Amino acid sequence: MDPSLIPFFQPKGIVVIGVSGNISKLGYGVARNLVNSGFTGAIHFISKRRGNLFGRPIYNNLEEIPDPVDLAVLIVPAPGICEALAEVKYRGIHAVIVISSGFREVGEEGEKLEREMMRIASESNIRLVGPNCIGLLDTHLPLDTTFLPPPMPVAGDVAFISQSGAICAAIIDWARGQGFGFSRLISLGNQPDVNETDILDAVVEDENTRVLTLYLESVNDGKRFVEVAKRVTRQKPIIALKVGRYASGQQAAASHTGALAGRDIAYQAAFKKTGIFRASSTEEMFDWASALACCPLPAGRSMAVLTNAGGPGVIAADALEINGLTLAELSPSSHSQLAALLPPAAGLHNPIDMLASASPQLYANCLKILVDDANVNGVMVILPPPPTHLAEEIADALIPIIHTSFKPVVIALMGEYLIKTASIHFRMARVPEYRFPERAASALSVLVKRSEFLNLKEEKTFIFQDLKTELAREILKKIKPGNWLGQDSVQLLMKSYGIPCSEIKLANNATEARDFSQEIGFPLVLKVASADISHKSDVGGVLLNIQTPQETEIGFNKIIKNVKLLDPEARLDGVYLQRMSPEGHDVIIGSIHDMQFGALIMFGSGGVEVEGLRDIAFSLAPLNKTEGLNLIKETWAGEKLFGYRNIPRADVDAVQEILIRLSLLVSNLPEISEIELNPLRVFTSGAIALDVRVRV
């Protein structure tokens, strides 16, 4: 942990500036919660009015307060924050939580105030959480600096880090009703100083935290976030609920890659790079957190389902498959043992249907057989309200088996009124229970993903020895920002990083095209040369299979005529001539620079239909070999490269190498805003880029 953050999580003494005896004021709520939390350090109160609050004196200024005090909580009106911060500075306090609102979130004047507050904090080496936040709490220390209605959440092992205070309030109330325990809860507010990345680094060291959950609206420094998260996820799982995924703020880009790379794609790529699990809902985030906090990790994807009814078993089987899991093939020994226990009408094949009359002991005995089966990696137990027994009796019979199992067991506890007591028993025993099989299957899936992630060996990016970064940099220096490179520069740039590219020549007139055609050889492809035209085919700017010098001359004139007719405003530089390539697989490889996370690499189906097919995948640069291969496998275009029915296998290794080389190029040269190889034609041996566009 950054030493400057220690007072937030291990304070010796806390001063609350702006307390109030009025129960409707936030200053009252913070004082009440801090005192009632059981915090064993010193607690001090400051207000303009002297007196007593919760049996403690209220002081008028910081000079009167005795040591120790190393954390200040400010709840004063926004215009008074800078004055209060100056007093904190002179007292030598270097950790401050600003609860007050009225800063950047309210407009220009608030933003000026926030900048001035941060100027004072920076000059004074003060670390600041907030403003516009609800504070933080630690159920184990214990400590509660929030103003939320009591009681504090029960002690648990899931930390919640949120950029929204309102979400924190709702989650705490939900957790009380669910019996869900938190270790720490941190509300970040506007984050001009302490941000989500700082908190990740601090919370991962907490021995009481097993899982970190994040509510994210944005990330302050994407590259640092990725660097820290990659380290943290190796120690403890992170689950993120990133909102705003459908924001309309697309990047202004002229390539297919740019058009397809929405802002949310960058977050998705960052989560994939770091091993963060992205939840699609708040409920899913805490479903996963419960499983990751309480369950052992499975050794594989084969699951067993134990139920007392056929319908829920079918639902579970479908849900497991949807989540990428499979139904385990039970061993002959397990079949024999189950047959000896169950009535003749029971279902002995996974899912195991014990029938509605299943007793608590039968549930327990069958579960023991399943967890002992070497072919089973985890179990979902489905428990609708049983007709002849109490649900809590079955829960009590199952819990000892679950606690001694080295495999994950999750409960689909279906119903509400008749299973309430059973739910409490499972929660007190730290056994994850969900209302429906779909949620239980999703929880098993995240356990599998966590297991597979930890089994992956950390792999460094492969560095090629023939990369000529300085040469590439010199090429780009000659290009004005915002402009596309000419084809001569593109060819040199590709060559500098060993990316195979089809030779191309620019003809300025029909006669020049005729002469070049004889140098290059036939058959030829002719393409219009214009920085204003992104999709050449749309304006009749491409001709294929040109066989003679005469056809070349005619083709040149035809392309110029087509373009002038269909896009009269476009600036024309001439026509490119290129030797036609043999048939192969056409894919697209591209990159676009994201302002937050850096270069994104794209792979997918190439050619003119790329935007319509949207068979694409993105990853953050630079790529290692595994990431390059996984990027290929994420798409149908990539799957075809491995061979499919009558489609022969292509050179996947060549594509993987080009992806890595391109990722190194855009990582080393961030001035490249867009680059696209479309199509990259892949053969049974080798691959070559037929069309390359680069913009700085």
The token duo for 436 is 């429906």
Q: Is the pLDDT of residue 250 over 70?
A: no
What mean pLDDT comes out for the span 140-169?
A: 94
Q: Share the mean pLDDT of the chain.
A: 93
pLDDT at 392: 97
Q: What does each C-alpha distance from 273 to 225, 233, 669, 676 come to in angstroms?
A: 11, 11, 20, 22
The rounded distance, in Å, linking the Cα atoms of 246 and 322 is 24
Strand ranges, E, within 126-201: 127-129, 136-138, 143-144, 155-162, 182-187
H-type helices in 20-65, by residue range? 26-36
> Tokens 């303009």 belong to which residue?
48
The rounded distance, in Å, linking the Cα atoms of 304 and 288 is 19
DSSP-based three-state secondary structure for 42 = strand
Q: Is the pLDDT of residue 258 over 80?
A: no
If you write DSSP's letter for every residue of 583-606 in order, what string do you get?
S-EEEEEEEEEETTTEEEEEEEE-
pLDDT at 252: 40
Q: Is the pLDDT of residue 253 over 60?
A: no
Q: Is the pLDDT of residue 159 over 90?
A: yes
pLDDT at 533: 84
DSSP bridge pairs for 586: 681
pLDDT at 229: 98
Residues of the chain with CATH 3.30.470.20: 585-695
Look at 483 and 71; give whichever has higher pLDDT.
Answer: 71
DSSP tag of 644:
B
Confidence of residue 460 (pLDDT cuts 50, 70, 90): confident
pLDDT at 611: 67
Q: Are 236 and 210 in contact (CB under 8 A)?
A: yes
Integer-rounded Cα radius of gyration of the chain: 31
> Tokens 């002992």 belong to which residue?
372
pLDDT at 260: 54
CATH class of the structural domain 503-580:
alpha beta
pLDDT at 40: 96
Contacts of 51 by beta carbon, 8 Å cutoff, 6+ apart: 21, 57, 58
The token duo for 300 is 């594989």
Q: What is the pLDDT of residues 461-517, one digit of tens each?
A: 888 999 999 999 999 999 998 888 988 899 999 999 999 999 899 999 999 999 999
Confidence of residue 614 (pLDDT cuts 50, 70, 90): confident
For 585-695, CATH number out of 3.30.470.20, 3.30.70.141, 2.60.40.1180, 3.30.360.10 equals 3.30.470.20
Residues of the chain with CATH 3.40.50.720: 3-209
The rounded distance, in Å, linking the Cα atoms of 165 and 135 is 8
Contacts of 486 by beta carbon, 8 Å cutoff, 6+ apart: 506, 573
Where is 519: in which H helix or E strand?
helix 510-520
The rounded distance, in Å, linking the Cα atoms of 649 and 637 is 12
CB burial of residue 453 (10 Å; 0-12, 13-18, 19+): middle
The CATH homologous superfamily for domain 296-455 is Succinyl-CoA synthetase domains (3.40.50.261)
Q: What is the pLDDT of residues 622-678, one digit of tens each?
A: 999 999 999 999 999 999 999 988 888 999 999 999 999 999 999 999 999 999 999
CB burial of residue 64 (10 Å; 0-12, 13-18, 19+): exposed
What mean pLDDT comes out for the span 321-326?
A: 98
| 3-209 maps to CATH 3.40.50.720 | yes
> Tokens 């896009």 belong to which residue?
567
First to last CA, the chain: 39
Task: Give percent helix, percent strand, percent coil of the chain, each to the nearest 5.
Answer: 40, 20, 40
Nearest CA among 352, 392, 347, 383 for reference residue 369: 352
pLDDT at 263: 75
Q: What does each C-alpha distance from 321 to 237, 288, 546, 630, 641 come to in angstroms?
A: 23, 17, 51, 21, 25
CB burial of residue 117 (10 Å; 0-12, 13-18, 19+): buried
The token duo for 66 is 């005795």
Looking at the chain, the whole-number percentage of residues with pLDDT higher than 90 is: 85
Q: What is the pLDDT of residues 327-346, one digit of tens each?
A: 999 999 999 999 999 999 99
pLDDT at 79: 95
Looking at the chain, the whole-number percentage of residues with pLDDT higher than 70 is: 97
Where is 379: in which H helix or E strand?
strand 378-383
pLDDT at 287: 97
Residues of the chain with CATH 3.40.50.261: 296-455
Confidence of residue 254 (pLDDT cuts 50, 70, 90): very low
Instruction: Give, in degrees to the nearest 5, the angle at Cα 333 between 331 and 336.
Output: 115
Q: Is the pLDDT of residue 14 over 50?
A: yes
What mean pLDDT comes out for the span 575-579?
A: 93
Confidence of residue 262 (pLDDT cuts 50, 70, 90): low
> Tokens 């059973």 belong to which residue?
422
Instruction: Give, in degrees to the nearest 5, the angle at Cα 684 between 680 and 688.
Output: 25
